[in-house]
Structure 1
């Protein structure tokens, strides 16, 4: 009799849980949604995620407010997403460093990507070298020549030490036989912009999209993009392939939620951001900032992220074995 009562109670609990989850998903959203951006305000990731979220909130019928949480090569902000209640009211944006750099370096033992449910990849963009408009370099060949004549003297602003951009510049030095003075400006592209404008440096390594406002104002210009095809927005910037440099590397933006967020809730978020990405408003806006929309939905994005991570892990281990970088 007791066992029978226990079984009935267990069935009741399961039914109530299923009902509450279903009801929750049907009612979602009924309050504001927090979107964590793990980089500083004013950078490329910040601008893109804010713009998409502003359009997506119209689809969801509620406000999506952005919160910049910097630190740990994006790990600090992403950890906040991992620890958040899985109810769809805390979301996050991941970049290359969130998916590759932090796990590879083992910066935080509690940082595991399986604590997240990836929703979609929304953009991808190559890295580039960007120079101040009054810099003396007319081409990447000029920059390489000057670096060989002045080893260790020419300053290039990267972001975090050990980040993707650091890796890109180490590869660039190896491929061109140069030695630059790489200066880290943690916190995304915003501090790099300040470094260029204050004339601390004349060269920065990041994406063209990150510096779109300064390119538009004429303060800077693209020197080379680490890609094999020209940017549809900045068609005058040559590719690394055209310059005879075998280097292709860049970033992306992936949206995520805590791992146990209900599938129905994730589906609503995915649909809202897909509609935002496809909207005329976003497509018109993004065409001016040099970033390529590159959608990959919930069904495929996790496998893509895992494959990308493993491929890059192997490439970085090769550089470790060659003595180019240290882990």
Structure 2
């Protein structure tokens, strides 16, 4: 009798929990959704995340608000996201550093992609070499020729060691037979943009979208994109394959939630962001800033992440990085 009573109690309790979880999923979201952007305000990832979230929140009765938590190459903000209650009300923005740099270097104890549930990939864009108007360079050939004539003097700004731009500049040096004076800037690409404006840098590597403001103003110029295809948003910036180099690298934005977030909540978030992604408002805006919209849903993005890590780590091993 006692055992049957316990089983009956457990059955009722578990049943109540299932009903409670289903009810919460049906009512989701029950409060405002916190979007953790692990970069300072003002950068490309911040702008794209805000834009699409402003559109996506129209699907809900609640708001999606952005919280910028920079530090530790995105780990500071994403660790907070991972430790949040897994109910769908906290979402994080993952970039190249989140998926490649941190796992590769095992830089932050406890940081792991295994503690996240991918929701979707929003954008994917190639990196580019951008030169300051102070540099006097007007083309990729001029930059490379100057680097050959004066080794280790052309100042090129990139994100810290292990980042996509850092990997790109080392691969470019190897392929072009040059040596740059490489200067790393922690944080978002806005620091490199300021250095280009002041003449502190001759060139920098990040996406054209990240430098759209100073390119539009004429203070900087994109001279090559690290891609094999022409970017229609920047028809005057040739892909690096034009010069005989096989070098493709770039950035992206992935949305993720804490591990064990209910599948229903993930599906609801994915559907809202997919609808926002497909709007003419977002498509027109994102291409106007030189970024390529590139959607992968929750069922596809994990496979893409796994393949990206495998291929990138192989290149890093070959370069001894």
After superposition, residues 54-133 of structure 1 pair within 5 angstroms as 54-133=54-133
Q: Distance in 1 between matches of 2:184 and 2:12?
A: 57
After superposition, residues 275-294 of structure 1 pair within 5 angstroms as 275-294=275-294
SS of equivalent residue, structure 2 residue 40: coil
Question: Contact 1:42 / 1:189 at 8 angstroms: preserved in 2?
Answer: no
SS of equivalent residue, structure 1 residue 127: strand
- Structure 1: tracts of 5 or more residues without a match: none
- Structure 2: tracts of 5 or more residues without a match: none
What is the root-mean-square deviation in Å for CA atoms of aligned residues? 1.1
Report the alpha carbon displacement of residue 141 of structure 1 after superposing the two structures with TM: 1.2
After superposition, residues 152-167 of structure 1 pair within 5 angstroms as 152-167=152-167
Name segments (4+ residues, structure 1) moved above 2 Å. Answer: none
The match for 1:171 is: 171
The match for 2:3 is: 3
After superposition, residues 1-327 of structure 1 pair within 5 angstroms as 1-320=1-320, 325=321
Question: Contact 1:121 / 1:296 at 8 angstroms: preserved in 2?
Answer: yes
- Cα deviations by residue, 1:273-311 (Å, 9 ceiling, x for unpaired): 001111111011112111111100011111111121112
Report the alpha carbon displacement of residue 42 of structure 1 after superposing the two structures with TM: 1.1
Report the alpha carbon displacement of residue 73 of structure 1 after superposing the two structures with TM: 1.5
SS of equivalent residue, structure 1 residue 241: helix
Report the alpha carbon displacement of residue 9 of structure 1 after superposing the two structures with TM: 1.4
Report the alpha carbon displacement of residue 185 of structure 1 after superposing the two structures with TM: 1.1
- Cα deviations by residue, 1:24-57 (Å, 9 ceiling, x for unpaired): 1111112111101111211111111110011011
Report the alpha carbon displacement of residue 22 of structure 1 after superposing the two structures with TM: 0.6
Question: Contact 1:73 / 1:163 at 8 angstroms: preserved in 2?
Answer: no
Report the alpha carbon displacement of residue 59 of structure 1 after superposing the two structures with TM: 1.4
Q: Distance in 1 between matches of 2:160 and 2:54?
A: 28
Q: Choose 161-170 or 233-242, whichever is displaced more.
A: 161-170
Q: Distance in 2 between matches of 1:16 and 1:198?
A: 63
Q: Distance in 2 between matches of 1:71 and 1:169?
A: 23
Report the alpha carbon displacement of residue 202 of structure 1 after superposing the two structures with TM: 2.2
SS of equivalent residue, structure 2 residue 88: coil
